[in-house]
Structure formats: C-alpha cells, structure tokens
Structure 1
Amino acid sequence: EEEIIYDNLYLDMNEIIHKCFRLNNGLVYNWFFAYLDRLFRIVRPRRLLYLAVDGVAPMSKMTKLRQTYFKTAKYRADSEAEAILLTEIFRAQGKEVMPRDTYELENPVVKMPGTEFMEKISAALEYFIRERLNTDPEWKDIKVILSDANVPGEGEHKIMSFIRAQRSMENYDPNTRHCLHGHDADLIMLALASHEVHISILREFDNPNGRIPARFYQFVDIWILREYLELEMKTPGCKQDTERLIDDFIFICFLTGNDFIPQIPSLEINEVRILYVVRF
C-alpha cells in the first residue's frame, strides 16, 4: 500500500490531557510529551501542527456537561459508599484488603478552562513547542499553532474552523492532506461536514489479543467513507449532489443526539454498520 504523506496534523488535546494526567506526580509531563512525540512521528506532517485545547464551550454544551457531572458525582458517591461497605465486610471476615488506587486529577472540573491546572498545561505546551522547534530537526520546517484554553470553543470545533478558514483563502491548495487525532465519534461527522476530501482521523484502540496490554493506531480515511455513502444512497435515474447528500446524512445522524442537542426519544441506533475503511 502506498504511504500517504500528510501536510497538516491537528491534535484535539483534551483527550490526550485526560489520558495522560490521571496521577498527579512528576512523571506525567514526561508521559505527556512522549505521547505528543509519538503522534507526531506516526503522522510526520510536512507543513503544520495545530494543537487545540478546549476553551469555554457554548451554553448548550455547558448545560449537558452540568447534567453529566451531577450524574457522575452521584454515581461516584454511591460507588464509594459501596466500596467502604465491602472493605469492612472483607476485613471482618479476616481477608486482606489491598489499598485502592487514587487518581487526584480524575475530577473533570479540575481540567476545565480557567483553572490553575489548565494554565500549567498551557505553559507546558509552550515549553514543549519551543524545545522541539529548537532541537528536533523534524520540526525545522513545521509551522506550529497552539490554541489553548484561553481561546473560546471546543478543540475539535476550533480545528474545523481553522480548516474552513484555510479553504476560503485564494492560495489554498485543494490537495492538502489533513490528519486529525481524536477518538470522539463527532470528529467523523465534523470531517464529513468540512467537505474536505483529503482528510483522515488517527484513532487509538486496545489490542484485544495477547496477555500484555498494547495500544494500536488506525487511520479512518474520510474519502473512503464519502464514497461508501455515495454508493449506499445512490438512486438509479436520479441526479444527486454528493455534498448535499453528505449534509443530509449528518443531519439525520444528529437526530439521535450529540454533545449539543438531546436525542429524540422515539429514535435510537439499533444496528451498527461499519461504513468507513481503516488503515493500520
């Protein structure tokens, strides 16, 4: 298979932050930087690296987040009470009880825009970028943009706004190849909605086989998904506009709910069909 060379790499940083900063110790920044280096070397962008951290979200998203946090807080309180009860029962039975792991940064409020933690993340990213630009030859010709938590908007939406702004410029190259990193399914819809043909999503998944846990990466090629949608919805004898067809597909999918709007109660996804092709 011919290797695809990407021009631009976009990182939705909040997924990476939540993944790396679970424990609060001196090693997490080393893990954080090593993870960013790994992603950069997998894609090897030629022109641009865009790092987007979630800023203040729109009101509709904040409302849904509050509901989620209240439910999560109640679930954790119930789980904590159950764990304490089971610990007392086991100790009364003379069984050895191992101390539980504690994750100081598991509270999602700690990682919200405007917190001291996110200010430290911004400073760490600035240091990381400057250090790599000055020492790593692979970064020599790369333009780096950091949109931290002080810039309003969620990371994936800031990325797509940037791509749309580039498309509107007169000197934009339509053959530019983009790669987005993130595991949120909304990225697939956002990539389709951009109507950018040469775009892929880098996703991470667990190895289901083997005794040693391992992480693998796969590329979801959006141009293949566009072709599948066009073939799936083709109507014989009817002239169709592929771009409008894709917009209609996205709209129908959003009727089942997303981060901004609730699900219509009478609709749900009963069948899972793999429409896209992945590359390892």
Structure 2
Amino acid sequence: MNLEDASLLMGGPRIKFSLRKDEEEQGREILKKLETALLPAAASLSSALAEVERDGAAPVLPDGKVGGNGAVLLGDLDCPALLVSRSGKEKGHILRVPDDFALVTSFDRERWEAVYVPCGSDQTVKPTSDTPLLWAALVSSKKKGEGDAKDSRTAPPARFALHGHALERGSRGIHIPISDEETLFSTPEDVAALERLFDSAGYFPLHRTFIRRGHGFFILGEGSSEALETLRTVVVPQIAPAPSAATPPAPVAAEAGQQSWQ
C-alpha cells in the first residue's frame, strides 16, 4: 500500500492545495475566447480517459473514486489555460462535455493555489487533485525545458497529458524513467519529484512516458492520438500479467473443417 492509499483509507483529502474559483468576468471571458478549442479538446480527453480506465490503467482507489485524470494545454505559455478533468470520477462514468471539466488559469507555487473556472453549468465541479502535477508537466517544465532537447525547436510541443495510477512500482522489460521517492499526492514534494525526473531523464520529446514511484504513469503527447498510441504500445502491455513458464498456453479451438494439433 502506498502513502496516498493509506491516507485515503484514514479519510484524508485528495485535493491538498487551495482552490479559488474565478468569480470575475475574466474567467468567463477566457472560457468564451477558448470555446472553439475547448469543446473538441474536452471530447478528446473524455474519450481518452475512458480508454485509460477500460484498459485497467486507472484503478479504483480506497475512496471509491477512479485513479486517473488528464489535461490539455490551451492557449500558449505566455497565457496558459489548462483544461483538466474533474476531481472525483466514479467508476465507469464517461466524463460529460463540458460539464465534467474545469479550466485552470493559473497555479501559484508559493500559495499552492489553483485558480479555475468550471467549464459547464455544474458550478460544483472542481479540477482534478493532480492539477499541480499536470500544470508542472505541460506548463512549468515546458517553459524550463525549452531548448534542452536537440529537436525541441522542430518537434511539436506536448499539449496533452494522461495520468493513471498503474505502474506505480515501475516497468518490466522496457525502460520507463521512474522517480526514486514516494510522496503523498498533490503536494509540493510530489511535484518536485516529478520535475527532478524530467531533469534527470530528459523532458518531452526525449521521453513520452514517466513514472512517479508510488503514484503512477504520466504520458505526454502532442495530442490525443499520440498519447493514446503511447498508452496502447507502452503502458497497456505492462499492465497485462507477465507470462508464466509454468502455465501452458490455452489450446486454440479448431475452426470447422480444421484439425486441432496438440
């Protein structure tokens, strides 16, 4: 059991940062400005997260909610707006567009506070508890890492992130960069560990998949299709049980007119 599971079992909160809803007209203006891009981005993220859960990459945590989320970077780094999935997703629930999403317009590292506006009519929706890590992955680390990779000027930037609580102990058979320490989620220590991993392993596009020990995997991509391709080819094969030499393969039933050879 990891530190976060133990905390949730004791009734601890998922969200461990301050939230400030943008009640001013500015928040609604940002939503209106990004509406054309926001709706298809939310639809893509909803579909992608449904696949993450269906593939077993977003298990249910001790509080009964799904351990998986995602984000899409809208706008640019000078005026970033991060579209994120809601906090507290029920198992099997397909995220509604746009009601189950929030737009995070800033994240203050000193105050440990996110400013956000719900995207739909449900004003009770809060951004995912992993907002600090998603902001670090698609905004802060991108600003810091621009120019570090040899092909950073020619490669499309990472604008899409998927996170699931699978592979928290690492990968097998292939190398996926993994952090050393385990922390509670949504904390400054959690974000610092992810950023150290980016620094040591190399940020996107040198790597597209990272693992926070005791937390789970992060996939970065230019868009949903690239992120889902990484999910299908890198993460999902790691979730399937490793083949056992002691277990013989199941016999294949012969089709009509064919002989089954044992």
TM over 0.5: no
Higher strand share: 2
Q: Which has the higher helix share?
A: 1
Task: Please identify the structure whose Cα radius of gyration is greater.
Answer: 1
Which TM class, normalised by the smaller chain length?
under 0.3
TM-score, length basis structure 2:
0.26
